[in-house]
Amino acid sequence: MTHKELIIIGGGPIGIACGLEAKKRGIDYLILEKGTLVNSLFNYPVNMQFFSSSEKLEIDDIPFISKEAKPKRNEALEYYRRIVTSNKLNIHLFEKVEEVKKQDQQFEVRSNKVTYRSDNLIVATGFYDLPNLLNVPGEDKPKVSHYYNDPHFYSMQKLAVIGASNSAVDAALECYRKGAEVTMIVRGPAIGERVKYWVKPDIENRIKEGSVKAYFDAEVVSIQDNTITIKQKGKMQEIENDYVLALTGYRPNFSFLQKMGVALSDDGKYYPQYNEETMETNISGLYLAGVICGGMDTHLWFIENSRIHAEMILEHICSKKKVNS
Ligand SMILES: Cc1cc2nc3c(=O)[nH]c(=O)nc-3n(C[C@H](O)[C@H](O)[C@H](O)COP(=O)(O)OP(=O)(O)OC[C@H]3O[C@@H](n4cnc5c(N)ncnc54)[C@H](O)[C@@H]3O)c2cc1C
């Protein structure tokens, strides 16, 4: 069985940062990524522009040059890909970790291809694989998607956008500008507080002038082939509809963490337990990095503020190594 000092689960920006840090420090590591490189970013909307300026997305101070101050998705793919290839990082793509067991002070990491043994483990699996479901009848219809990609698809269609966060607002505006008839269904009384300050007035003004229709304090009750039924302040309404974008957020894979024995808070937020200086969880040798650290509060950690996790974790792994040698 292949043995590694460190296995990193997830080849997103933070998993890559951990791999780079491990390489710099001479640790024998392997990154396992279930999809393509930076799979979450690859699946972001095609025209997506980051809210962070490019230098805030840099890892290991490797310059990230972008055309505008805030880079686009394609530029980020290029940046992280170049980091991996030019540093010859040890990464296996399209290899999903299915189970982790701890045995005799080592982790047994079983992927869909191989089983490895590892002294340390970093879980950097992000949050973008599991959408928060509406749990309403009709949600499984092909006209419903929890991921938004390209506005052109919705041109000249009656599109319902569920949610009022950054993703929902970006999708609503882009699709409206490509000729979709957009209706937003928003559970709260207004557009989300955390929507980018330079985008919020745009959507609010489009709603005010009626170019984008919005139902506030409303929720979707059911989805039919040509309509959706919503409930607003106790009143049911049926709206004509061709497509639904349910952009109500995503959540980390908590059961994956639980099966490994990572303690999670029981307040519905599923905050994982970890040491804030070392990122080590209640399982010795098992570390968390990136957005997964925030439990259900997936806005707490992002690339900008979690890229430091790599250094913190590798510092701890190296200090343990020194003590044991
Ligand atoms: C539209 C949008 C815009 C954003 N803009 C910004 C921004 O401007 N600035 C910023 O700092 N952040 C931004 N973020 C947030 C940022 O993209 C995430 O916080 C970031 O991707 C976190 O990196 P990560 O490596 O922790 O997780 P991810 O990028 O999600 O990477 C996790 C990886 O783990 C893989 N994986 C999952 N499970 C397994 C498994 N079992 N086995 C193997 N691999 C697995 C996934 O395929 C994925 O590639 C944005 C997010 C969205 C959705």
Domain boundary among 229, 246, 263: 246
Residue 170 CA, closest ligand 1 atom number: 1
**185 CA distance to ligand 1 centroid (A)?**
26
Coil, strand or helix at 39:
helix
d(CA 295, CA 325): 36
Q: Is beta strand 218-223 parallel, antiparallel or unpaired with respect to 227-232? A: antiparallel
* Amino acid at the residue 18: C
d(CA 180, CA 49): 21
For atom 41 of ligand 1, the residue with the nearest CA is: 97
The position carrying tokens 């919503």 is 230
Express each pLDDT in 96-107 by its tens digit. Answer: 999 999 988 999
Coil, strand or helix at 307:
coil
pLDDT for position 215: 98
Domain boundary among 218, 246, 274: 246
Q: Is 35 in the pocket of ligand 1 (CB under 6 A)?
A: yes
CA distances in angstroms from 298 to 85, 128, 225, 252, 301, listed in the order given: 29, 10, 32, 8, 6
Q: What angle do CA 140, 142, 146 make, to 5 degrees?
A: 65
Q: Is 10 in the pocket of ligand 1 (CB under 6 A)?
A: yes
**48 CA distance to ligand 1 centroid (A)?**
14
Q: Are residues 17 and 151 in the same domain?
A: no
Quote the number of domains for the chain: 2
Whether residue 262 has pLDDT greater than 90: yes
Coil, strand or helix at 292:
helix
Q: Are residues 195 and 276 in the same domain?
A: no
Coil, strand or helix at 106:
strand
Q: Is 169 in the pocket of ligand 1 (CB under 6 A)?
A: no
Domain hosting residue 304, numbered range: 2-130+250-324
Please give the average per-residue pLDDT across 272-279, as a whole number: 98
Share of the chain above pLDDT 90, in %: 97
**39 CA distance to ligand 1 centroid (A)?**
8
Q: Are residues 53 and 152 in the same domain?
A: no
Whether residue 134 has pLDDT greater than 80: yes
Express each pLDDT in 289-307 by its tens digit. Answer: 999 999 999 999 999 999 9
Q: Is 294 in the pocket of ligand 1 (CB under 6 A)?
A: no
pLDDT for position 324: 78
Which residue out of 7, 21, 32, 34 has the highest number of ligand 1 atoms within 8 Å of its CB and is therefore the one to mutate? 34
d(CA 165, CA 148): 13
d(CA 138, CA 152): 24
Please give the average per-residue pLDDT across 91-95, as a whole number: 98
Q: Are residues 34 and 81 in the same domain?
A: yes
CATH number for 259:
3.50.50.60
Domain boundary among 220, 246, 272: 246
Please give the average per-residue pLDDT across 193-197, as a whole number: 96
Residue 56 CA, closest ligand 1 atom number: 11
Instruction: Give kind and range of the element (H or E) at residue 112.
Output: none
pLDDT for position 206: 98
Q: Are residues 186 and 266 in the same domain?
A: no
Contact 207, 263 (CB under 8 A): no
Q: Is 9 in the pocket of ligand 1 (CB under 6 A)?
A: yes
Low-confidence winner among 13-17, 102-106, 212-216 (lowest mean pLDDT): 102-106
Please give the average per-residue pLDDT across 68-92, as a whole number: 98
pLDDT for position 321: 84
For atom 26 of ligand 1, the residue with the nearest CA is: 290
pLDDT for position 325: 73
Please give the average per-residue pLDDT across 58-64, as a whole number: 97
Tell me which of 324 and 52 has the higher pLDDT: 52
Express each pLDDT in 218-254 by its tens digit. Answer: 999 999 999 999 999 899 999 999 999 999 999 999 9
**Whole-prediction pTM:** 0.96
**237 CA distance to ligand 1 centroid (A)?**
37
Whether residue 119 has pLDDT greater than 80: yes
Q: Are residues 88 and 230 in the same domain?
A: no
